[in-house]
Structure 1
Amino acid sequence: MLLTLPACDRDGGDGPWPGAAGGARGDLFERASLADGSRLLVTTEGGVRIVGTDDESVRVDEATPARWDLDAATPTLDLLCDQGDKRTEDNCGGMRLVHVPAGITLTVRARNAGIEVDGVHGELTLSTVNGDVTVHDSGTEGASQHLVTRNGSVRASGLAADGVSAETVNGDVDLLCTTAPAALDGVTRNGSVRVTLPAGAPPYKTDASTVNGRTVVDVPAPTAGSADHPRRLTLRTVNGDTEVHRG
């Protein structure tokens, strides 16, 4: 059973963490159960690395103060950050490690640091400001993946998806897909957009543009009069290259 504890004061004392859920350490969140297919929201004012595992537990290491809210519309793990509280200030700029069930639908909202996701095989919605979004061996063929930052790059290797939306302003978008998504949008302003599709990827209707850079499209276009609904690629930048290849 998860125990919700009262809010602590802000004097950096030894009292319980605000809204923490009890685990093996009593007044610190350590572990909770969440079945594959469930939704999870992770919020942080710093950075986070999330790794998918084969069990049904959401867990953090003992150095990570966190709040667990199972009563929210979506179960939420908040990595606590308060620059005025010495117990939580290390969360504000660090890259905390969180383990989650591999099959969940995952949303992460971060700020002023990066997001890294490895081995999570559900739908991903990852957003940060002033940091990179990095994905390894994640996603699933039938899902939409949303990867967004503002000042940083979006990089994915081993990404499975039916739809991909990858966006930044100052940084690169670099995507290596293991499946052939029905639609993919890669957008930046100051940086390059590079997409690699599987070697046997079908034809795509491709719209790739740049102002100061080069464009390379190395995938076939649909044939005239094709009855199939064309798959679509949209790659846009201002200062950088746009490229799409089959790997």
Structure 2
Amino acid sequence: MKSTTAARAALVLALVSGTAGCGGGGGGDDLPDARGALRVPVGGELVITTDHGVTLRPGAGGEVAVDDRAGHRWSRRDDTRVLDLDCAGRDGRCPRMPRVDVPDGVSVTVRARDAGIDAAGIAGALDLTTVNGDITVTGSGADDGAVRLATRNGSVRADALRAGKVRAGTVNGDVTLACATAPAGVGGTTVDGSVRLALPADVPAYRVRAATDNGSTSVDVPTTHDTAGRTIRLTTVDGDVTAARA
């Protein structure tokens, strides 16, 4: 039992590990305007790094705009725009989860710590990671994009999620996923907490693995043994596992 718990904890920790750094600076057309906003084209990639949390909301005019109370620095790594948020020297005026507006069609990666990530209305692929904080996603993602949500010592909650593939994990907390589409693959894992998945009523059949050591499992979605088909993998150690249709 202890070895199983330790192994699963190690897998989840591997999921949430890794921090993106800021590469070399950009120039020319990549310079932010006087407000600190930067244009990012459709199909572009945005990486946000912070020692706290962040709030993501839809942007307009193809621009990524940043809460003016938060210190920030732009740089570029290959074709990726990198935004480093920093509250140092802001005399308490910097919010713990500053708002960043992101235009449609931009893929977003966030590396945060000691605070949460709240994303709503973001139309693009998402890769969100924090430690010691919750991740909340509402009405976000892209039908053909990947969504990865990972924390440690916090819960993951996603509602009206759109994605081609979904992977969500934590160590101490619940994972709750409600999808507006039928992803090709869904993975949800925790150690101390429950895992719940809700899919649309008309979803096709999935190859399902639902497992817990101390709890109950309930699967109410069409199932198949086709190894080339859609997959659901939901696991925990201490908690319940549920896969259902909305």
Q: For this structure pair, what is the TM-score category when the shorter chain's length is used for normalisation?
A: 0.7 to 0.9
Q: Counterpart in 2 of 1:87?
A: 90
Number of aligned residue pairs: 217
Q: 1:166 aligns with which of 165, 168, 175?
A: 168
Contact 1:80 1:88 in 2 (8 A): no
Contact 1:65 1:88 in 2 (8 A): no
Q: Counterpart in 1 of 2:9?
A: none
| Separation in 2, partners of 1:73, 1:36 | 12
Q: 1:31 aligns with which of 34, 37, 40?
A: 37
Q: Counterpart in 2 of 1:144?
A: 146
Q: 1:41 aligns with which of 30, 34, 47?
A: 47
Q: Can you list the C-alpha shifts for 1:141-164, whole angstroms capped at 9, x where unaligned? A: 111111100110111001111111
Structure 1 runs of 4+ aligned residues shifted over 4 Å read 88-91
Which ranges of structure 2 fall in alignment gaps of 5 or more residues?
1-24, 26-30
Contact 1:139 1:145 in 2 (8 A): yes
Q: Counterpart in 2 of 1:154?
A: 156
Contact 1:35 1:104 in 2 (8 A): yes
User: AA paired with 1:31?
Assistant: A
Q: Counterpart in 2 of 1:104?
A: 106
Structure showing greater relative contact order (alpha-carbon pairs closer than 8 Å, 6 or more residues apart): 2
Q: Counterpart in 1 of 2:120?
A: 118
Contact 1:53 1:119 in 2 (8 A): no
| Separation in 1, partners of 2:207, 2:52 | 39
Contact 2:32 2:38 in 1 (8 A): no
| Separation in 2, partners of 1:90, 1:169 | 32
Deviation of the 1:62 alpha carbon: 2.0
Q: Can you list the C-alpha shifts for 1:33-91, whole angstroms capped at 9, x where unaligned? A: 11121100011101100112242111112211111113565211111143xxx327655
Q: Counterpart in 2 of 1:214?
A: 216
Most deviating of 108-117 and 61-70: 61-70
Contact 1:45 1:110 in 2 (8 A): yes
Contact 1:51 1:117 in 2 (8 A): yes
| Separation in 2, partners of 1:57, 1:200 | 37
Larger radius of gyration: 1
Contact 1:174 1:193 in 2 (8 A): yes
Deviation of the 1:24 alpha carbon: 2.9
SS in structure 1 of the partner of residue 139 of structure 2: strand
SS in structure 2 of the partner of residue 75 of structure 1: strand
Deviation of the 1:133 alpha carbon: 1.0
| Separation in 2, partners of 1:56, 1:128 | 26
- Aligned sequence identity (%): 45
| Separation in 1, partners of 2:69, 2:60 | 23
| Separation in 2, partners of 1:230, 1:79 | 41
User: AA paired with 2:90?
Assistant: R
User: AA paired with 1:65?
Assistant: G
Q: Counterpart in 2 of 1:246?
A: 245
User: AA paired with 1:119?
Assistant: G
Report the TM-score, using the length of structure 2 for normalisation.
0.82
Contact 2:70 2:90 in 1 (8 A): no
Which ranges of structure 1 fall in alignment gaps of 5 or more residues?
5-20
Superposition CA RMSD, Å? 2.0
| Separation in 2, partners of 1:128, 1:73 | 24
Greater share of helix residues, 1 or 2?
A: 2
Deviation of the 1:187 alpha carbon: 0.3
User: 1:65 and 2:71 equivalent?
Assistant: yes
Most deviating of 237-246 and 63-72: 63-72
Deviation of the 1:238 alpha carbon: 0.6
SS in structure 2 of the partner of residue 234 of structure 1: strand
